[in-house]
Amino acid sequence: MSSPDFKTLFQEEVEEEEEEEEFFWDARKTMISKDGNHLPVLVSGSVLRSKSGEIQGIILDARDISRQLETEQKLAESEKRYRDLYRLAPFMYHSLTPDGTILESNQTELDALGYSHEEFVGKNLLDFVPLELLENTRKKFEDGLKTRKADTELSFVRKDGSLMPVSLKAIWQNDENGQPIFSRSMMVDISDRKKAEEQRRKSELLLKESEELYRMVVDTSPDPIIVLDLNGRILRASKRTFNLFGATARKSLINKRAIRFVAPEDRRWVMQEFRNVLERGKPKTMEFRIIRADGIPHPIEINVSLLKNEQGEVLSFIGVIRDIAERKRLEKEVLIRQEAIESSIGPILLADMDGKVTHANFAFLNLFGYSSEQKVLEQSIESLWKKEKPSEKIIETVQNEGVWRGERLGHDLKGNEFSLDVQIPLILDTSDDPIGLVCFLYDITLRKETEIKMRETSKMAALGEFVSGTAHEINNPIGIISGNAQYLLAKLDYDSLRKMGRREFNKFREAIEMINKHSLRCGGITQKLLAFGRGGIKTTMIPVSINTFIKDVLSIVGHQFELSEIKVVQDLKRLPRLQANADQMNQVFMNLLLNARTAMSKGGTLRVSSKIVESGNIQVEVEDTGEGIPEENMERIFEPFFTTRETGEGTGLGLAVVYSIVKAHHGNIRVQSKPGKGTRAILDLPLKVA
């Protein structure tokens, strides 16, 4: 219960009633409950007055307001939290009157704009809008007032003069008549977003320009270009790509998997190479065949790389294609020509326009004795043979006239010489412009030797006919002289001696014997001439032993070698019998051995050997250590009547007859000699004659 001194308790209120002449009032008081607790109450009271207006008493009504006070306290705390949240929120808040006057603004907004509370609150919001945006902002404000809400973007001028773009959301509060009283607005600084949007806009513009440029580059590129997504589907292709693939419509390529256009045998490794490009990020050039729309395989070369955005993210594959069909054809043609050059049995050289060797085939290396191509590269073609004239300019002739041809004497690395037929034309490209030289070499050594032998054979044949005729002409008178000389010798008897006297008889007899001796010698010469002219006397060929002929001749002339202090060395291998004319074979070896003895006038060594060689022929060598044959005479040693001996010491028919007999037996004879070192005669005789 409350204290009974009501007048004292409510004196203040009663006095206020008296002053205001009110009859009812409310007051919050604290009462003490029976258990001693203080209890907040709301006391409503009215004053009882007399007719004269004097206070007669008070009527009181007390109500427990404990819960109401708790609620009010919580509400106050909540409002305080709201005020703090409003003031310190990360978003900007303000309230406006319908005419745009700023009622309140939180600290976040003031900090963002740079104004103090006094500089901002109470001012019109439009005062902080840039002049160029004023009309647009005013219209947005009016539209929001009509719809009682706003969701727009505005810009305000900061205190430092810079612009702050914001995103604004606002709701208007109405009175009981539906008229707007004030708005509550929330703003977010979108400067960063605007910058990003501007950057994006510029980037999009740049991207658009880049795409236009990219499209122009793709479509105008001299090489076909293709763009694939990361799954291998074709996104874009240039016109030249369509032409290369034989595609007539866009849909025949675009959005199709590129791998379907790759030749089946190449698909697996091509897909792997694309994966490698994606994983490693490095461009890759590869060659494979595509299948054109007409089903025909076509070779291409493609350089694949990755397209990336500004952030480095991979967007797609891009491939620059090159049609290599013509290159492949030329490579094949070059390969065929190269193979033809390498497999040619004739020596071939390739050279630049200055005549420097750039390639030599195997036949050339083999003929000239080079172990590798490197050793001949960069040499001048003209250094490979002897010049006929120091002033000749073969390369210049080729450059001016397009070709040069002639015969030259070449030599290998060991100094061995051989005859060459040389032909050097220009190499022309597809435009008929000269790009180099090709040198064709033909080894004509054998042909030259054959021509010489044919000339010699013709000369020998003509000489043989002449000699045979001459021998026949002089053989008959010589026979008559010899016969008469022998007749006269037969008639010389005792009666002749008695009549003539011994001295005269002896002189007469010696004269007749001299006539007979020299007529017999002339007969022998004519027989050699006949044998030479007819290529040997045609007699029956019988199996003979070559070694036996050699031994028989050595036994006959052996004492002459001993007297001349000549040592004879024999190396006679076991040989099969040979079909030959015995008399002619004896004559061959007699001539060769006697020639060797004559060459060793001061003594020496004679070596005679025989063997079977790889060709299956019998080979006989007669070698002396005599004075040798001068080089200038080597070509004439088989000529009839050619001799280097003094007059009367030789007829010059020995080797000519040997040559004729050996050829008649289908054999061959060669003579090797060095002045001061000796001479070697080599006979090759076939065992079987076809």
Stretch 443-452: mean pLDDT: 80
The pLDDT value recorded for residue 684 is 92
Higher per-residue pLDDT: 30 or 460: 30
Helix-helix angle 582-599:654-664, to 10 degrees: 140
pLDDT at 233 over 50: yes
The pLDDT value recorded for residue 50 is 74
The pLDDT value recorded for residue 460 is 60
Q: Of all helices (H) and strands (E), which one includes residue 87?
A: helix 66-88
b/e 499-522 (16+ beta carbons within 10 angstroms → b): eeeeeebeebbeebeebbeebeeb
Higher per-residue pLDDT: 278 or 78: 278
Q: In what order do the strands lie in the sheet with 618-624?
A: 566-572, 604-612, 618-624, 678-685, 668-674
Higher per-residue pLDDT: 300 or 476: 300
* Spatial CA neighbour of 588 closest among 662, 528, 500: 662
How many C-beta atoms surround the C-beta of residue 486 within 10 A?
A: 16
Torsion of CA 465, 471, 477, 481, to 10 degrees: 180
Adjacent-strand bridge partners of 96: 102, 183
Question: For the chain, what is the radius of gyration of the CA atoms?
Answer: 68
Q: Kindly give the pairing relationship between strand 403-411 and strand 357-360.
A: unpaired
The pLDDT value recorded for residue 211 is 65
Stretch 99-105: mean pLDDT: 91
The pLDDT value recorded for residue 435 is 87
Q: Give the range with max mean pLDDT: 322-331, 442-451, 502-511.
A: 322-331
* Spatial CA neighbour of 463 closest among 652, 618, 203: 652
Q: In what order do the strands lie in the sheet with 234-237?
A: 234-237, 225-228, 314-323, 297-308, 284-291
Fold of 6-64: Beta-Lactamase (3.30.450)
pLDDT above 70 coverage of the chain, percent = 79
Helix (H, G, I), strand (E, B) or coil at 414: coil
CA distance 468 to 557: 30
Q: Report pLDDT digits (tens) over 351-373.
A: 898 889 888 888 888 888 888 88
The pLDDT value recorded for residue 6 is 47
Contact 292, 260 (CB under 8 A): no
Q: What is the phi/psi pair of residue 472, to 5°?
A: -65, -40
The token pair at 497 is 């001696």
The pLDDT value recorded for residue 1 is 42
Between the alpha carbon of residue 486 and those of residues 64, 285, 516, 517, 659, the distances in Å are 200, 107, 7, 10, 35
**Domain map (residue ranges) of the chain:** 6-64, 83-189, 223-323, 329-443, 450-532, 535-685
Q: Report pLDDT digits (tens) over 122-169.
A: 999 999 999 999 999 999 999 988 998 999 999 999 999 999 999 999
Q: Report pLDDT digits (tens) over 494-509.
A: 676 667 777 777 777 7
pLDDT band at 473 (very low <50, low <70, confident <90, very high): low
Fold of 535-685: Heat Shock Protein 90 (3.30.565)
CA distance 55 to 603: 192
How many C-beta atoms surround the C-beta of residue 168 within 10 A?
A: 20
- In this prediction the pTM is 0.37
The pLDDT value recorded for residue 248 is 74
The pLDDT value recorded for residue 576 is 92
The pLDDT value recorded for residue 250 is 74
The pLDDT value recorded for residue 390 is 66
Q: Report pLDDT digits (tens) over 557-587.
A: 777 888 888 999 999 999 999 888 887 888 8
Stretch 648-671: mean pLDDT: 75
Higher per-residue pLDDT: 108 or 650: 108
CA distance 253 to 228: 11
The pLDDT value recorded for residue 239 is 86
Between the alpha carbon of residue 289 and those of residues 223, 248, 262, 295, 326, the distances in Å are 16, 20, 6, 11, 13
The pLDDT value recorded for residue 272 is 94
The pLDDT value recorded for residue 647 is 42
Higher per-residue pLDDT: 673 or 247: 673
Fold of 450-532: Helix Hairpins (1.10.287)
Q: Give the range with max mean pLDDT: 297-306, 450-459, 546-555.
A: 297-306
CA distance 672 to 312: 85
CA 541 to chain CA centroid, Å, is 69
Q: Report pLDDT digits (tens) over 179-203.
A: 898 888 888 898 888 888 887 787 6
To which CATH superfamily is domain 223-323 assigned?
A: PAS domain (3.30.450.20)
CA distance 426 to 436: 6
Q: Report pLDDT digits (tens) over 587-602.
A: 888 888 888 888 888 8
Q: Give the range with max mean pLDDT: 130-144, 405-419, 522-536.
A: 130-144
The pLDDT value recorded for residue 3 is 44
Fold of 83-189: Beta-Lactamase (3.30.450)
Helix (H, G, I), strand (E, B) or coil at 76: helix
pLDDT at 401 over 50: yes
pLDDT band at 263 (very low <50, low <70, confident <90, very high): very high
Please, what is the average pLDDT of the chain? 80
The pLDDT value recorded for residue 536 is 47
Q: Report pLDDT digits (tens) over 35-60.
A: 888 888 777 777 777 777 777 777 77
- Whether 329-443 and 83-189 are alike in CATH topology: the answer is yes
CA distance 20 to 14: 10
Higher per-residue pLDDT: 492 or 663: 663
Between the alpha carbon of residue 620 and those of residues 177, 547, 587, 610, the distances in Å are 150, 9, 15, 4
pLDDT band at 648 (very low <50, low <70, confident <90, very high): very low
* Spatial CA neighbour of 625 closest among 556, 565, 684: 565
* Helical spans, DSSP H, in 293-358: 325-343
pLDDT at 417 over 90: no
Q: Which range, of 86-95, 122-131, 202-211, 392-401, averages the lowest pLDDT?
A: 202-211
The pLDDT value recorded for residue 527 is 64
Q: Which CATH class is domain 329-443?
A: alpha beta
* Spatial CA neighbour of 351 closest among 438, 232, 455, 476: 438
CA distance 14 to 62: 16
pLDDT band at 82 (very low <50, low <70, confident <90, very high): low
Between the alpha carbon of residue 416 and those of residues 364, 668, 674, the distances in Å are 14, 22, 16
